[in-house]
Amino acid sequence: MKESLLLRFLYRTAPGRLALRFLVRPEVSRIAGRFLSSRFSARIVPYYIRKHGIDMEGVETPQGGFPSFNAFFTRRRRDAFAGVASGQLLSPCDAFLTPIPIRGDTIFDIKHTRFSLEDLLKDKQLAAHFRDGLALVFRLTPAHYHRYCYAADGTVLRHRRIAGKLHCVRPIALREIPVFAQNSREYQLMRTKRFGWMVQMEIGALLVGRICNERLSMETNHVHAREEKGYFEFGGSTILLLLEKDAVSVRKELYGRRNEDGEIPVRAGEHIADAR
The alpha carbon dihedral of 116, 118, 120, 126 has a sign of: positive
What's residue 143's pLDDT?
Answer: 87
What's residue 87's pLDDT?
Answer: 78
99 pLDDT band (50/70/90 cuts)?
A: very high
Q: Where are the alpha helices (DSSP H) in 24-97?
A: 26-36, 44-52, 69-73
* CA 260 vs CA 181, 257, 264: distances in Å: 27, 10, 10
pTM: 0.84
What's residue 23's pLDDT?
Answer: 66
Give the tens place of pLDDT for each residue, 27-38.
776 777 788 889
Higher per-residue pLDDT: 168 or 200? 200
Extract the runs of DSSP E, i.e. beta strands, from 94-184. Answer: 95-101, 108-110, 113-115, 134-140, 147-149, 154-162
Sheet with 228-232, edge to edge strand ranges = 147-149, 228-232, 211-213
Of all residues in the chain, the percent with pLDDT exceeding 70 is 75
What's residue 171's pLDDT?
Answer: 58
What's residue 207's pLDDT?
Answer: 54
- For strands 211-213 and 228-232, give the pairing: antiparallel
- How far apart are alpha carbons 252 and 221 in whole angstroms? 32
249 pLDDT band (50/70/90 cuts)?
A: very high
Q: Are 49 and 236 in contact (CB under 8 A)?
A: no
How large is the average pLDDT for residues 262-273? 94
Say whether pLDDT at 215 is over 50.
Answer: yes
Say whether pLDDT at 95 is over 70.
Answer: yes
Give the tens place of pLDDT for each residue, 2-20.
456 666 676 667 677 677 6
Q: Are 73 and 146 in contact (CB under 8 A)?
A: yes
What's residue 274's pLDDT?
Answer: 94
Give the tens place of pLDDT for each residue, 40-77.
999 999 999 999 999 898 999 999 899 999 899 999 99
Total count of residues recorded for the chain: 276
How large is the average pLDDT for residues 168-195? 70
Higher per-residue pLDDT: 120 or 176? 120
